[in-house]
């Protein structure tokens, strides 16, 4: 059963220079309980894709899609109230800067309590209070905060970034969502904290039967448990498929260069060698190349690249390129 | 050959330009600004425009209604008051005291207040740190009360009132400037300039000043409307500019007795005062709005 | 919190101390004999040498100041230069009368201004928001004395709903005892208490309304801007994405945080309120501090001027202290910012 099914999602933004397509016909499929990573450089529209899923988007921007289905229901056809209800019940999102996403003037306990569904707590008034408190404690334990007492009475500004991120994960999983979207949750963190958060996410995905969409800048920092991987560049889908296949033999030149650029995956780099990077810089929103947007920077680009490549389906993966690195076996 | 723009040229306006751009984009802001400039111009040339002397009492035209009323007279466009003095002339000349004088007072007090405030803002000594809270507390005493104290000491009169209000406006300028400079001082770009070895004077004028200018201009408009209110209120209470001088507040003060006879003598100065303050407030508010838009974008 | 409390209290105490120094030095700034300015006893009066002795008039400034402080705290504020009544007793009555007016107006301003501000923010840039904000701009710009005149003209003269001046019709024979007209009515032995109360309410409506309008509009604008700014913060978006109802987002998250921002500006509110109360009391002949101060400036009654100024300044400092303490108690982040590494 497809949990999430997105076909040709396009987001257009109104700027003084005209309409800019920040997401150009992106596809994404997600099944229950899988970990899906979206990787791309800054400006690739990966956060925007996540925000489009939860309906977090600036209302002045144009969102169109052939299909934006959640559990077989069309999200775009719903009223905002309905959609918010579904999003609130089934999805949750965590962000890069957890402190900005926590209310600075309520305690951690208040904020977690608020996220626990009303139906979960039963009994009389006093019983409910005790019940809520134990639930908060249990949630904090589940995200790896063992010393719950001081944390519960703290305000967000008193927490370190790692703990704040754990608290926001606790808030996110309080209502047992089917999907957790993590938008670069560890980018600004120390390596050890990053590892903790990553392990936590992987464990939760298994124990809670929850799909996780992890957004990252770097192929090296995705979870080892990642099942599928999607590469985005400038709002265009480059390649998507099973993570293991893509990482071992990339089909798209962009994927290939991203893998070689990543320090975590690149062990055999000789001493004082240059890091293999793509030439040029990421184009600004106003100056998007036509056709394949990677065109001007792509080492394999040819004349035909000014036309947008169509999707090539091969085994389980899909890529958009005129000149893929893999020679198709068929 | 016509000028062809081959390459797309990216404009990156400076922050000040950005504020001005978003200020200009709103009709109401520009209308208020033009109205304010027009009023200032009108006040400057008012001695030339006023048709009559403000203290001439026309015994044949006592309490004459404005010209658009049936019984009015075109000779006295806005009518006359209960002593037969021309309202238009009094309003125009009154502007000198009610709008011109506050502008002058704000100019003087802002110069003094801002220089002290800027110096206080960059002073980093312990002594200053411990005193700043105390100053903040004492600054919460309203300027009107301070002006009243000064008048109680010096007595009423044109010079004393001008001095009192000017003096009472200074603390607010010190406060706002000091806070603005203080806040900027801790931002990373200033730290970077400091590490580059810029002198304090350079930091203040070239690094910090451009970034606090809109805040200071906003404070100017706030102070201007406060100054106008204060001088009108003092004159209304009979402690400000004294009777024969046509100040809007003092014109209002004597109008209540004659409101049955000549309602326009209450409405006209009141409307003038109201429109003046409103215009200044709208300009200040638009500026605040433009500033916020710049920060948000 | 203890540290915050101690810090605030010590600043308050130092400020009050400076205030007494200032009001003491006023006696030297005012024209005439400082001892006369302090006590209200003129040099040709028989009790003058005694007063001179008690106030330490022949000794140095520091001793004089100590004597002044002693007199101040024992409620011995001298007597009026114009009619010889003790300043302290008069002052308490005027103070209570003023506070009655100001607190009522403040209540009106808060109960109307804050909800309207939130309402405008929740309808940001829609028709109703624009209407409310324009109204606030107009209301904030009307000079209070002109507004008072217009209201008197409309409600008192044209419609005849409310009386023009004073606290109560003197026919009821209510003796001023505490200064607060409502308490005075209850204390009086008049036979027509209910009617007197009705009359007192009639008298107070117009001044309270006029006094409330400007602070209300100020609060409305501050609250609207703060709430609107909060509604754009990430944590509000996150709360919405969590599926909380718009009402709950507003009440639980946007309003408390907006209040935190608004409370930082209450200094402005109090000084506006007090400034306007001086004008309004003079117009309505309300026997409050403002009226008292203005009259004493006209009469050059220096003991009263300095007492009134002292009371005004003290009231402002005290109100601000209360707000700051509440602020720090309710919003811990304020205390945190205070002692952050700066």
**What integer best gives the mean pLDDT of chain B?**
82
- The answer to whether the CB atoms of C235 and A103 lie below 8 A apart is yes
Mapping DSSP to helix (H, G, I), strand (E, B) and coil, where does residue C286 land? coil
Question: What mean pLDDT do residues B208-237 have?
Answer: 88
Measured between beta carbons, the chain B residues lying within 8 angstroms of C220 are none
Q: Give the chain A residue nearest C235 (alpha carbons).
A: A101
Q: Please, are residues A242 and A316 in contact by the beta-carbon 8 Å criterion?
A: yes
- The answer to whether the CB atoms of C336 and A54 lie below 8 A apart is no
Q: In terms of pLDDT, which residue wins out, B104 or A296?
A: B104
Q: In terms of pLDDT, which residue wins out, B18 or C312?
A: C312
Which subunits sit against A, judged by 3+ Cβ pairs under 8 A? B, C
Spatial separation of the C-alpha atoms in residues C131 and C314, rounded to whole Å: 38
Q: Given a cut of 80, is residue A277 above it in pLDDT? A: no
Measured between beta carbons, the chain C residues lying within 8 angstroms of B144 are 271, 274-275, 278
Question: What mean pLDDT do residues A61-89 have?
Answer: 82
Q: In terms of pLDDT, which residue wins out, A120 or A265?
A: A120
C338 band by pLDDT with thresholds 50, 70 and 90: low
Q: Please, are residues A201 and A208 in contact by the beta-carbon 8 Å criterion?
A: no
Q: Given a cut of 80, is residue B225 above it in pLDDT? A: yes
Q: Give the chain C residue nearest B229 (alpha carbons).
A: C143
Q: What is the pTM of this model?
A: 0.84
Quote the Cα angle for A154-A156-A158, to 5°. Answer: 65
- The answer to whether the CB atoms of B149 and C142 lie below 8 A apart is no
Taking CA atoms, C68 is separated from C21, C50, C116, in Å, by 10, 15, 48
Most confident listed range (A82-91, B256-265, C63-72, C207-216)? C207-216
Q: Given a cut of 70, is residue B5 above it in pLDDT? A: no
Residue A242 domain flag: yes
Q: Please, are residues A288 and A21 in contact by the beta-carbon 8 Å criterion?
A: yes
Question: What mean pLDDT do residues B283-297 have?
Answer: 82
DSSP secondary structure letters along A235-287: TEEEEEEEHHHHHHS--SHHHHHHHHH-TTT---PPTTPPP---SS-PPPGGG
Q: Does B266 touch chain C if contact means CB atoms closer than 8 Å?
A: yes
A329 band by pLDDT with thresholds 50, 70 and 90: very low
Nearest to A102 among C235, C237, C240 (CB): C235
Q: Please, are residues C178 and C184 in contact by the beta-carbon 8 Å criterion?
A: yes
Question: What mean pLDDT do residues C257-279 have?
Answer: 88
Q: Please, are residues A59 and C124 in contact by the beta-carbon 8 Å criterion?
A: no
Residue A282 domain flag: no
Q: Does C135 touch chain B if contact means CB atoms closer than 8 Å?
A: no
Spatial separation of the C-alpha atoms in residues B280 and B272, rounded to whole Å: 12
Q: Give the chain C residue nearest B142 (alpha carbons).
A: C271
B8 band by pLDDT with thresholds 50, 70 and 90: low
- The answer to whether the CB atoms of B278 and C270 lie below 8 A apart is no
Q: Please, are residues B103 and B169 in contact by the beta-carbon 8 Å criterion?
A: no
**Per-residue pLDDT, B124:** 65
Spatial separation of the C-alpha atoms in residues B281 and A292, rounded to whole Å: 53
Measured between beta carbons, the chain C residues lying within 8 angstroms of B249 are 143, 145
Tokens of B92: 């125009």
- The answer to whether the CB atoms of B144 and C294 lie below 8 A apart is no
Which subunits sit against C, judged by 3+ Cβ pairs under 8 A? A, B
Tokens of B192: 């970077």
**Per-residue pLDDT, A267:** 63
Residue A17 domain flag: yes
Overall number of domains in chain A: 1
Q: Does B76 touch chain C if contact means CB atoms closer than 8 Å?
A: no
Q: Does A127 touch chain B if contact means CB atoms closer than 8 Å?
A: no
**What integer best gives the mean pLDDT of chain A?**
81
Question: What mean pLDDT do residues B242-267 have?
Answer: 78
**Per-residue pLDDT, A265:** 60
C224 band by pLDDT with thresholds 50, 70 and 90: very high
- The answer to whether the CB atoms of C252 and A158 lie below 8 A apart is no
- Phi and psi at A39, nearest 5°, equal -120, 140
Residue A220 domain flag: yes
Residues of C near A (Cβ–Cβ under 8 Å) read 233-235, 237-244, 252-253, 256-257, 260, 331-333, 336
- The answer to whether the CB atoms of C157 and B142 lie below 8 A apart is no
**Per-residue pLDDT, C341:** 39
Most confident listed range (A75-89, A157-171, C47-61)? A157-171
Measured between beta carbons, the chain B residues lying within 8 angstroms of A283 are none
Q: Give the chain C residue nearest A94 (alpha carbons).
A: C238
Question: What mean pLDDT do residues C153-182 have?
Answer: 77
- Percent of chain B surpassing pLDDT 90: 12
pLDDT tens digits, one per residue of C50-109: 777 777 777 788 888 888 888 888 877 877 878 878 888 888 888 988 998 999 999 999
Q: Given a cut of 60, is residue C342 above it in pLDDT? A: no
**Per-residue pLDDT, C116:** 92
Question: What mean pLDDT do residues B241-254 have?
Answer: 80
C217 band by pLDDT with thresholds 50, 70 and 90: very high
Flag the least confident range among A267-276, A285-294, C297-306.
Answer: A267-276
Q: Please, are residues C77 and C91 in contact by the beta-carbon 8 Å criterion?
A: yes
**Per-residue pLDDT, A45:** 81
Of C142, C152, C160, C280, nearest to C211 (Cα)?
C280
Q: In terms of pLDDT, which residue wins out, B244 or A242?
A: A242
Touching B: A residues 283-312, CB under 8 Å: 286-287
**What integer best gives the mean pLDDT of chain C?**
84
CATH code of residue A39 = 3.40.50.300
> Which residues constitute the domain of residue A293?
2-266+288-320
B227 band by pLDDT with thresholds 50, 70 and 90: very high
- The answer to whether the CB atoms of C244 and A88 lie below 8 A apart is yes
Of A111, A119, A207, nearest to A152 (Cα)?
A111
User: CB-based contacts of B189: which residues, under 8 Å, 6+ apart?
Assistant: B207
Min distance C255 CA to chain B CA atoms (Å): 20
For chains A and C, CB pairs below 8 A equal: 60
Min distance A33 CA to chain B CA atoms (Å): 38
Q: Given a cut of 80, is residue A15 above it in pLDDT? A: no
Q: In terms of pLDDT, which residue wins out, A225 or B192?
A: B192
Contacts 24+ apart (CB under 8 A), C167-171: C167/C97, C167/C200, C167/C203, C167/C204, C167/C286, C167/C287, C168/C196, C168/C199, C168/C200, C168/C203, C169/C199, C169/C203
pLDDT tens digits, one per residue of C8-42: 888 888 888 888 888 888 888 888 788 777 777 77
Spatial separation of the C-alpha atoms in residues C81 and C305, rounded to whole Å: 11
The dihedral over CA atoms of B255, B261, B267, B268, expressed in degrees to the nearest 10, equals -90
Flag the least confident range among A210-219, B3-12, C287-296.
Answer: B3-12
Mutation target vs C (from B32, B137, B182; most C CBs, 10 A cutoff): B137
Min distance C328 CA to chain A CA atoms (Å): 11
Q: Give the chain A residue nearest B7 (alpha carbons).
A: A287
B277 band by pLDDT with thresholds 50, 70 and 90: very high
Q: Please, are residues C163 and C78 in contact by the beta-carbon 8 Å criterion?
A: no
Tokens of C308: 């009134």
Q: Given a cut of 90, is residue B108 above it in pLDDT? A: yes
Q: Given a cut of 70, is residue C312 above it in pLDDT? A: yes
Of C312, C338, C340, nearest to C327 (Cα)?
C338
Q: Given a cut of 60, is residue C158 above it in pLDDT? A: yes
Residue A330 domain flag: no
For chains A and B, CB pairs below 8 A equal: 3
- Percent of chain B surpassing pLDDT 70: 90
Look at phi and psi of residue A47 and say left if phi exceeds 0, alpha if psi is from -120 to 50, else beta. Answer: alpha
- The answer to whether the CB atoms of B259 and C278 lie below 8 A apart is no
Question: What mean pLDDT do residues C151-163 have?
Answer: 82
Q: Given a cut of 80, is residue B41 above it in pLDDT? A: yes
**Per-residue pLDDT, C220:** 92
Residue A283 domain flag: no
Look at phi and psi of residue C302 and say left if phi exceeds 0, alpha if psi is from -120 to 50, else beta. Answer: alpha
Q: Is the dihedral of CA C293, C294, C300, C301 positive or negative?
A: negative
Residue A127 domain flag: yes
Look at phi and psi of residue B238 and say left if phi exceeds 0, alpha if psi is from -120 to 50, else beta. Answer: left
Nearest to C332 among A97, A115, A155 (CB): A155
User: CB-based contacts of C75: which residues, under 8 Å, 6+ apart?
Assistant: C88
- The answer to whether the CB atoms of B142 and C271 lie below 8 A apart is yes
Measured between beta carbons, the chain A residues lying within 8 angstroms of C331 are 105
**Per-residue pLDDT, C227:** 92
Residue A273 domain flag: no
pLDDT tens digits, one per residue of B51-75: 777 777 777 777 777 777 777 777 7
C252 band by pLDDT with thresholds 50, 70 and 90: confident
- The answer to whether the CB atoms of C11 and B142 lie below 8 A apart is no
């Amino acid at each position: 059963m497809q949990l999430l099914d997105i076909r040709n999602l396009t987001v257009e933004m109104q700027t003084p220079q005209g309409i800019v397509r920040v997401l150009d016909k992106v596809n994404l499929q997600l099944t229950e309980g899988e970990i899906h990573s979206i990787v791309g450089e800054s400006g690739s529209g990966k956060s925007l894709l996540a925000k489009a899923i939860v309906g977090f988007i600036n209302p002045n921007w144009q969102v169109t899609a052939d299909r934006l289905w959640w559990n077989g229901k069309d999200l775009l056809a719903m009223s905002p109230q309905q959609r918010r209800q579904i999003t609130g019940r089934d999805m949750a999102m965590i962000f890069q800067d957890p402190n900005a996403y926590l209310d600075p003037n309520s305690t951690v306990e208040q904020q977690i309590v608020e996220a626990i569904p009303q139906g979960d707590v039963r009994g009389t008034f006093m019983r409910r209070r005790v019940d809520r408190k134990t639930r908060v404690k249990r949630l904090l334990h589940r995200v790896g905060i063992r010393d719950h007492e001081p944390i519960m009475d703290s305000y967000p500004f008193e927490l370190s970034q790692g703990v704040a991120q754990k608290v926001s994960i606790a808030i996110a999983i309080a209502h047992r969502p089917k999907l957790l979207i993590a938008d670069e949750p560890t980018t600004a963190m120390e390596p050890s904290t990053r590892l903790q958060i990553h392990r936590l996410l992987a464990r939760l995905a298994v124990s809670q039967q929850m799909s996780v969409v992890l957004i990252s800048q770097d192929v090296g920092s995705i979870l080892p448990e990642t099942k599928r991987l999607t590469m985005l560049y400038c709002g265009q889908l480059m390649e998507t498929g099973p993570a293991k296949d893509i990482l071992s033999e990339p089909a798209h030149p962009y994927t290939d260069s991203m893998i070689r650029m990543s320090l975590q995956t690149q062990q055999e780099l000789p001493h004082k060698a240059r890091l293999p990077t793509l030439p040029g810089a990421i184009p600004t929103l106003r100056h998007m190349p036509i056709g394949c947007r990677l065109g001007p920077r792509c080492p394999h680009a040819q004349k035909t690249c000014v036309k947008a490549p169509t999707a090539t389906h091969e085994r389980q993966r899909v890529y958009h390129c005129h000149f893929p690195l893999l020679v198709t076996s068929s | 050959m016509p000028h062809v723009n081959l390459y797309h040229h990216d404009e990156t306006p400076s922050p000040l330009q950005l504020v001005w751009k978003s200020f200009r984009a709103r009709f109401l802001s520009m209308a208020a600004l033009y109205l304010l400039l027009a009023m200032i111009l009108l006040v400057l040339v008012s001695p030339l425009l006023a048709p009559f002397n403000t203290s001439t009492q026309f015994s044949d035209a006592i309490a004459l209604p404005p010209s658009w009323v049936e019984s009015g007279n075109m000779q006295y466009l806005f009518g006359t008051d209960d002593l037969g003095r021309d309202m238009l002339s009094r309003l125009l000349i009154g502007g000198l005291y009610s709008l011109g004088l506050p502008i002058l007072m704000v100019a003087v007090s802002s110069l003094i207040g801002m220089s002290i405030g800027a110096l206080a803002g960059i002073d980093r000594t312990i002594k200053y740190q411990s005193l700043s809270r105390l100053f903040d507390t004492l600054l919460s005493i309203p300027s009107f009360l301070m002006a009243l104290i000064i008048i109680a000491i010096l007595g009423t009169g044109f010079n004393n009132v001008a001095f009192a209000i000017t003096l009472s406006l200074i603390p607010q300028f010190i406060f706002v400037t000091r806070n603005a400079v203080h806040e900027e001082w801790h931002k990373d770009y200033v730290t970077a300039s400091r590490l580059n070895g810029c002198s304090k004077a350079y930091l203040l004028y070239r690094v910090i000043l451009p970034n606090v200018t809109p805040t200071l201009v906003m404070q100017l408009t706030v102070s201007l409307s406060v100054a106008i209110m204060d001088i009108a209120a003092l004159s209304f209470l009979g402690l400000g500019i004294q009777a024969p001088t046509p100040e809007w507040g003092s014109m209002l003060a004597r109008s209540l007795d004659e409101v049955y006879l000549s309602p326009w003598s209450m409405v006209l100065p009141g409307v003038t005062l109201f429109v003046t303050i409103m215009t200044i407030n709208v300009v200040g508010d638009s500026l605040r709005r433009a500033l916020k838009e710049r920060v948000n974008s | 919190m203890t540290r915050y409390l101690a810090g605030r209290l010590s600043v308050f105490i130092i400020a009050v101390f400076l205030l007494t120094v200032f009001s003491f030095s006023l006696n030297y700034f005012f024209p005439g004999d400082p001892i006369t300015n302090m006590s209200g006893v003129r040099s040709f009066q028989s009790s003058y040498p005694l007063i001179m002795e008690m106030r330490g008039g022949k000794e140095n400034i520091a001793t004089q100041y100590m004597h002044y402080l002693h007199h101040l705290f024992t409620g011995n504020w001298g007597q009026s230069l114009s009619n010889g009544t003790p300043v302290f007793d008069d002052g308490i009555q005027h103070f209570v009368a003023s506070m009655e007016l100001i607190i009522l107006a403040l209540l009106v301003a808060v109960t109307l201004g804050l909800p309207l501000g939130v309402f405008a923010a929740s309808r940001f840039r829609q028709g109703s928001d624009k209407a409310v904000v324009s109204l606030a701009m107009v209301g904030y710009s009307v000079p209070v004395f002109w507004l008072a005149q217009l209201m008197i003209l409309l409600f008192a003269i044209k419609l005849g709903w409310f009386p023009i001046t004073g606290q109560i019709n003197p026919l009821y024979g209510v003796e001023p005892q505490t200064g607060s007209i409502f308490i005075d009515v209850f204390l009086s032995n008049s036979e027509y208490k209910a009617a007197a109360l009705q009359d007192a309410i009639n008298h107070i409506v117009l001044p309270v309304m006029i006094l409330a309008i400007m602070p209300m509009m100020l609060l409305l604008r501050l609250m609207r801007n703060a709430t609107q700014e909060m509604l754009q913060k990430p944590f509000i978006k996150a709360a919405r994405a969590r599926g909380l109802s718009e009402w709950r987002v507003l009440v639980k998250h946007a309003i408390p945080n907006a209040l935190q921002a608004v409370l930082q500006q209450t200094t402005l509110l109090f000084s506006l309120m007090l400034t306007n109360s001086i004008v309004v009391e003079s117009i309505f002949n309300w026997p409050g501090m403002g009226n008292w101060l203005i009259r004493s400036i006209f009469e050059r009654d220096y003991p009263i001027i300095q007492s009134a100024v002292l009371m005004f300044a003290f009231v402002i400092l005290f109100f601000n202290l209360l707000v700051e303490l509440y602020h720090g108690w309710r919003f811990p982040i304020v205390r945190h910012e205070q002692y952050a590494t700066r």
